[in-house]
């Protein structure tokens, strides 16, 4: 597992997948794996089809992100699927004080998650920095747990995550 923090430290090809015109925060975590799935399959394994109560609290209540409700091919855990490529997927959500992109990328035996934020108003600058420390501690576990879910998909009694390669 590798991780970097700071827009200038995130690899350019990944940073360029964010649609935000300027970045106030960026990080990028990569997990080497022989487990294969589409970027959307990985995103659904990381976050689920619908937002969890914990995700709802952090993303909606604390960060004020406007998230979709219910299952949809156009959302992952309430985040809007903004754009797809052959080896990447960008999820977007925003609130009145910040805009967020999550970029999931699969390439060369790796899966990665990039988080990109733009502060629109002061609360973003006040709320995100302390939360970002927690976020950075959680992301390695999110990637490892997603890998386990992708590996388990297709086994009897296990959930099937969309886009998982056999």
| Whole-structure pTM value | 0.91
CB atoms within 10 A of CB 122: 9
Give the C-alpha separation, 25 to 8, whole Å. Answer: 10
- Tens-digit pLDDT profile for residues 70-113: 899 999 999 999 999 999 999 999 999 999 999 999 999 999 99
Quote the mean pLDDT of the chain: 92
The reported pLDDT for the residue numbered 155 is 52
Q: Provide the residue ranges of all domains of the chain, joining segments of one domain with +.
A: 2-152
Rounded mean pLDDT, 109-138: 96
- CA–CA dist 127, 117 (Å, integer): 12
Give residue 87's pLDDT.
97
Nearest 5°: CA angle at 158, between 151 and 109?
Answer: 15
Q: Residue 165: is its pLDDT beyond 90?
A: no
Question: Could you give the strand order of the β-sheet that contains 2-5, starting from the edge strand earlier in sequence?
Answer: 2-5, 25-32, 110-119, 98-107, 88-94, 79-84, 75-76
Architecture in CATH for domain 2-152 = 2-Layer Sandwich (3.30)
**Is residue 156 scored above 80 in pLDDT?**
no
User: What was the pLDDT predicted at 154?
Assistant: 57
The fraction of the chain above a pLDDT of 70, given in percent, is 92
pLDDT at 162 > cutoff 60: no
- What is the C-alpha separation between 128 and 145, in angstroms, rounded? 24
Kindly list the distances between the CA atom of residue 44 and the CA atoms of 8, 63, 99, 131, in Å, as whole numbers in the listed order: 28, 21, 21, 22
Task: Provide the pLDDT for residue 69.
Answer: 87
pLDDT in tens, 5-30: 999 999 999 999 999 999 999 999 99
The reported pLDDT for the residue numbered 164 is: 42
**What's the pLDDT at 132?**
96
């Amino acid at each position: 597992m590798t991780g970097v923090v700071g827009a200038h430290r995130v690899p350019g090809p990944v940073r360029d997948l964010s649609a935000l015109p300027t970045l106030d925060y960026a990080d990028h975590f990569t997990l080497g794996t022989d487990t294969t799935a589409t970027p959307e399959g990985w995103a659904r394994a990381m976050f689920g089809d619908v937002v969890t109560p914990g995700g709802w609290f952090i993303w909606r209540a604390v960060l004020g992100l406007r998230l979709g409700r219910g299952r949809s091919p156009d959302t992952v855990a309430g985040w809007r699927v903004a754009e797809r490529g052959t080896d990447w997927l960008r999820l977007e959500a925003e609130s009145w004080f910040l805009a967020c992109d999550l970029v999931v990328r699969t390439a060369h035996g790796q899966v990665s998650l990039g988080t990109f934020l733009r502060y629109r108003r002061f609360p973003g600058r006040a709320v995100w920095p302390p939360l970002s420390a927690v976020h950075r501690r959680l992301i390695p576990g999110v990637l490892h747990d997603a890998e386990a879910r992708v590996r388990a998909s297709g086994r009897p009694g296990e959930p099937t995550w969309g886009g998982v390669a056999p």
